[in-house]
Every structure is written in structure tokens, then in C-alpha cells.
């Protein structure tokens, strides 16, 4: 029997720099609660993005600065969710915990929905 592929959902956010950190942590907690509150989620995490300087070989090869922060396109926080399959990813959109996230999160986002980028992709079947 071939199993359905898992779906990875990634959301990138441009959180305003002057927001109260407790509100950001509340958003993190809400996202991390999805695993126990929304069926079909295997992992749910949210947190601040990390960037690391490029090694000298990359700087020399591409003629760029060692500072890699430009690659984030000003996004500074993210969520990462693993769904058992596409069916659960689709149900997630209308789940109560997910719908409760928007009024918590959107006041913290710079530029409203222009400060949000989400993508989904399938893991290969094994």
C-alpha cells in the first residue's frame, strides 16, 4: 500500500520590530498547540528566524557580503508544520485554532498580508 505524502507548510512573517514580545510568544504558543488541537498534524513549531554569515568561499565565489540576512527578505519569524497528508492540510485552513491565530497575529505583522508568505510542498513517498 502506497501512503499519501506528508505536506510541509511554512509561513514566513515580517513581525514589527516594536511589538511586545509577550504577544509574539503567545502566537508561538498558539502555533505549537496545533499538534494537539488539530487532527493530522505531526509537528508544529514557530520561532524567530536565524541567519548565519556566509563562509569566505561563498563570499569570494559569488562576490557578496558575508551577511546573509538579505536572504530573509525582511521576514524575521516563521512557522513550520508537518501534516500527515494533503487532506489534513486542507482541513487545517478552516480549523478553529488556525482561524483563532489570525486576530492574534495580524496586528503584529508589518504590512498586513504583504508581510506574510506561506508555501506548501510534499515530501517524497518512501
Q: Model-level pTM?
A: 0.89
Q: Which residues, including other chains, have CB under 8 Å from residue 32's CB and lie 6 or more apart? A: 44, 45, 46
Task: Report the alpha-carbon distance of residue 48 to residue 6 in Å, rounded.
Answer: 24
* CB-based contacts of 68, cutoff 8 Å, min separation 6: 51, 52, 53, 54
| Nearest residue to 28 (alpha-carbon basis) of 73, 71, 80 | 80
Judge whether 1 lies within some domain: no
**Tally of domains in the chain:** 1
pLDDT of 1 > 60? The answer is no
CA angle, residues 49, 24, 22, in degrees to nearest 5: 130
Determine the structural domain holding residue 15 and report its residue range.
7-122
Instruction: Decide if 48 is inside a domain.
Output: yes
Q: Give the Cα separation of 81 and 63 in Å (integer).
A: 35
User: In this structure, is residue 23 part of a structural domain?
Assistant: yes
Q: Is residue 106 part of a domain?
A: yes
Cell numbers for 85: 497528508
Amino acid 125: pLDDT: 73
pLDDT at residue 44, as a whole number: 98
Per-residue pLDDT tens digits for 14-72: 999 999 999 999 999 999 999 999 999 999 999 999 999 999 999 999 999 999 998 89
Is residue 25 one of the residues assigned to a domain?
A: yes
3-state secondary structure of 53: coil
Q: The domain spanning residue 32 has which CATH number?
A: 3.30.70.100
2 occurs within a structural domain: no
Tell me if 116 is assigned to some domain: yes
Q: Residue 22: inside a domain, yes or no?
A: yes
Amino acid at each position: 500500500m502506497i501512503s499519501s505524502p506528508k505536506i510541509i507548510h511554512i509561513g514566513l512573517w515580517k513581525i514589527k520590530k516594536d511589538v511586545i514580545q509577550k504577544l509574539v510568544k503567545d502566537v508561538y504558543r498558539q502555533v505549537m498547540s496545533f499538534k494537539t488541537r488539530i487532527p493530522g498534524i505531526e509537528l508544529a513549531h514557530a520561532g524567530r528566524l536565524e541567519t548565519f554569515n556566509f563562509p569566505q568561499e561563498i563570499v569570494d565565489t559569488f562576490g557578496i557580503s558575508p551577511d546573509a540576512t538579505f536572504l530573509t527578505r525582511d521576514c524575521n519569524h516563521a512557522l513550520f508544520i508537518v501534516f500527515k497528508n494533503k487532506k489534513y492540510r486542507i482541513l487545517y485552513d478552516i480549523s478553529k485554532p488556525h482561524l483563532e491565530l489570525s486576530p492574534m497575529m495580524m496586528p503584529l505583522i508589518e504590512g498586513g498580508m504583504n508581510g506574510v508568505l506561506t508555501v506548501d510542498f510534499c515530501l517524497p513517498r518512501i
